[in-house]
């Protein structure tokens, strides 16, 4: 008999090796992303013992600053944004020695020459290699010039092949449409090969997003049902309670389509709809994701008026606070027609999904922050229980909560205890925080570690980005001449315009969100 209890514990095949010694050069180091996300992420990796002894973070920015002052500013940000990490001053002081400030303009050859010398000097002092992860955390308009400056300073490739590695992380948005994204890829690929490029989308670093693959392909009970024969429709909602905050100027150029649909939602959609990959490597997974994006039925510009709802928030309440409308936000034009909300119905024209609608919506200043995927199964036939006084019964629904309260919930029918045959919907609910001990790492921690290890599975490949733009471009084009008076408004703190409800009600369906009432 096999003694299951005494089976030797196998090493976890998925545990991560330690990255090689490295230099992380962050361009745009005086910006929000660096202090809110990047430095806290590197610091947490350091505290968790996941970084090698030899590493430096070089903060590259245009403003005058000193190492000391930059370290102090970053400590204040850690206290503000990740208070849990700011407990040990000693650990911070040790970490801070790895932080170096480098002031230069993005097109200044001397500044890049000085960067190269600094890296060479520090590597020599520490007898380590000159592995470099360059992180573009600036506004997108600086991406090309920085890449060119890296090339001119001979920083994009090792002096001798095999000496060390050089990689480039590019923040979203990657281009502002298909054309500009192709052009950006062309410019970057003149300097870096595709294998060196890591297009980051922090949604892919979220634990609950990575779990989509495991949930679908490490269980045998869901996959046979995962198709048009059993699934009636799918809903993807990405709602936020915040407005545009202090990013009005950026948001004016982006809008909800570029900010959320082209990237975060396209990743969720492709992971939920893709075929099983042949292997678990970066390219095999991305091959399947891109097939889904290419199978999306285009929404022609002329049909956008009928098939896509867009809207903008007006003044209202968020929690118990009165909040301004989008047009009153700093950096926003008084006559702006930028959408802060959209809802649409998409179709994936392949064998698995033919005819299954994917209802997608996203908005800022909605009542709560929720990202959720709802898989709505077909109703049972109108016989036995789904007839007479127990009808209509709610069909089964599987909800995948991406955030917050990450988890999975299955709605099913059960008999109400008693002498009558009456039926009620119940939920089996799994919450990460209830069931799993370890708090998931922050998305940026995971993605930075992957980039340091050269694993690009959770980064977007150029063809994925382009396929996503090919779907989104005609939608944006179709909206371009809608005047402000035609753009519906919704009060801050509400679920968007009535038109969004009508879009789904027209198909005899309603938007659903499964909020957990009880969680830790």
- Quick one: 202 or 267, whose CB is closer to ligand BG6? 202
Helix (H, G, I), strand (E, B) or coil at 191: coil
Q: Which residues contact 315 (CB under 8 A, 6 or more apart)?
A: 322, 323, 324, 325, 328, 491, 492
- Least distance (Å) from ligand BG6 to the CB of residue 359? 19
Show the site string, 361-400: x = touches ligand BG6 by CB under 6 A, - = not.
Answer: ----------x-----------------------------
Site for ligand BG6 in 45-104 (CB under 6 A): none
Token duo for residue 106:
């993005």
Distance CA 270, CA 263 (A): 11
Site for ligand BG6 in 198-237 (CB under 6 A): 202
Marked catalytic residue, from 98, 102, 264, 376 = 264
Q: How many residues make up the chain in this entry?
A: 520
- Least distance (Å) from ligand BG6 to the CB of residue 369? 7
For tokens 């042949």, the residue is 278
- Quick one: 264 or 286, whose CB is closer to ligand BG6? 264
Contact criterion met (CB below 8 Å) for 35 and 74: yes
- Quick one: 80 or 424, whose CB is closer to ligand BG6? 80
- Quick one: 156 or 362, whose CB is closer to ligand BG6? 362
Nearest to 408 by CA among 394, 397, 423: 397
Nearest to 504 by CA among 263, 236, 228, 230: 236
- Quick one: 259 or 288, whose CB is closer to ligand BG6? 259
Helix (H, G, I), strand (E, B) or coil at 268: helix
Distances (CA, A) of 337 to 140, 252, 364: 22, 9, 15
- Quick one: 99 or 268, whose CB is closer to ligand BG6? 268
- Quick one: 54 or 259, whose CB is closer to ligand BG6? 259
- Least distance (Å) from ligand BG6 to the CB of residue 254? 7
Distances (CA, A) of 312 to 322, 340, 363, 488, 496: 17, 5, 9, 6, 8
Among 54, 130, 240, 329, binds ligand BG6 (CB under 6 A): 240
Contact criterion met (CB below 8 Å) for 363 and 513: no
Task: Rounding to the nearest 10 degrees, give the CA dihedral for residues 199, 205, 211, 214.
Answer: 50
Helix (H, G, I), strand (E, B) or coil at 481: coil
Position of minimal CB gap to ligand BG6: 259
- Least distance (Å) from ligand BG6 to the CB of residue 371? 6
- Least distance (Å) from ligand BG6 to the CB of residue 426? 29
Show the site string, 159-198: x = touches ligand BG6 by CB under 6 A, - = not.
Answer: ----------------------------------------
Give the count of beta carbons closer than 10 Å to the beta carbon of residue 231: 19
Distance CA 318, CA 418 (A): 43
Site for ligand BG6 in 259-278 (CB under 6 A): 259
- Least distance (Å) from ligand BG6 to the CB of residue 245? 8
Q: Partners of 425 in the beta sheet?
A: 413
- Least distance (Å) from ligand BG6 to the CB of residue 202? 6
Distance CA 346, CA 360 (A): 7
Is residue 376 annotated as part of the catalytic site, yes or no? no
Contact criterion met (CB below 8 Å) for 340 and 363: yes
Q: Say how many residues touch ligand BG6, by CB under 6 A.
A: 4
Binding site for ligand BG6 (CB under 6 A): 202, 240, 259, 371
Catalytically active residues, by annotation: 264
């Amino acid at each position: 008999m096999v003694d299951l209890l005494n089976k030797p514990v196998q090493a976890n095949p998925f545990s991560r090796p330690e990255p090689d010694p490295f230099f992380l050069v962050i361009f745009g180091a005086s910006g929000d992303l660096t202090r809110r996300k990047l430095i806290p992420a590197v610091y947490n990796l350091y505290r968790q013992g996941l970084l090698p002894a030899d590493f430096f973070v070089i903060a590259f920015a245009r403003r005058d600053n000193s190492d000391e002052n930059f370290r102090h500013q970053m400590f204040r940000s850690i206290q503000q944004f990740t208070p849990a990490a700011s407990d040990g001053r000693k650990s911070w002081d040790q970490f801070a020695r790895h932080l170096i400030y480098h002031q230069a303009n993005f097109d200044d050859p001397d500044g890049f020459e000085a960067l190269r010398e600094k890296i060479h000097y520090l590597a020599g002092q520490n007898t380590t290699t000159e592995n470099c992860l360059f992180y573009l955390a600036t506004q997108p308009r600086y991406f090309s010039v920085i890449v060119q400056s890296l090339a001119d300073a001979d920083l994009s490739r090792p002096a001798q092949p095999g000496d060390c590695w050089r990689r480039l992380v590019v923040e979203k948005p990657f281009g502002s449409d298909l054309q500009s994204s192709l052009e950006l890829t062309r410019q970057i690929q003149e300097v870096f090969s595709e294998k060196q490029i890591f297009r980051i989308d922090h949604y892919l670093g979220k634990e609950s997003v990575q779990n989509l693959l495991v949930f679908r392909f490490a269980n045998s009970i869901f996959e046979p049902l995962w198709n048009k024969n059993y699934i009636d429709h799918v809903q993807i909602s990405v709602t936020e309670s915040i407005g545009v905050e202090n990013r009005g100027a950026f948001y004016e150029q982006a809008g909800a389509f570029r900010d959320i649909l082209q990237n975060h939602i396209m990743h969720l959609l492709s992971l939920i709809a893709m075929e099983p990959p042949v292997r678990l490597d970066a390219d095999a997974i991305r091959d399947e994701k891109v097939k889904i994006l290419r199978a999306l039925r285009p929404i022609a510009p002329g049909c956008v008026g009928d098939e896509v709802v867009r809207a903008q928030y007006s003044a209202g309440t968020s929690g118990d606070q009165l909040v301004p409308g989008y047009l009153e936000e700093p950096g926003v034009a008084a006559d702006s027609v930028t959408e802060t909300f959209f809802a649409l119905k998409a179709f994936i024209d392949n064998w698995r999904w033919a005819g299954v609608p994917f209802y997608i919506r996203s908005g800022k200043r909605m009542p709560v922050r929720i990202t959720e995927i709802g898989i709505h199964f077909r109703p049972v036939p109108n016989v036995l229980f789904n007839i007479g006084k127990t009808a209509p019964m709610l069909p089964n629904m599987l909800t995948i909560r991406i955030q917050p309260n990450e988890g999975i919930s299955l709605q099913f029918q059960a008999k109400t205890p008693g002498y009558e045959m009456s039926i009620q919907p119940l939920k089996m609910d799994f919450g990460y925080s209830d069931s799993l001990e370890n708090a998931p790492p922050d998305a940026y921690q995971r993605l930075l570690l992957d980039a340091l290890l050269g694993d690009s599975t959770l980064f977007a490949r150029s063809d994925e980005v382009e396929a996503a733009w090919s779907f989104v471009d005609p939608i944006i084009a179709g909206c371009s001449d809608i005047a402000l008076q035609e753009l519906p408004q919704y009060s801050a703190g509400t679920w968007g315009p009535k038109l969004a409800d009508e879009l789904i009600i027209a198909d005899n369906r309603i938007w659903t969100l499964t909020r957990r009432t009880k969680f830790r």
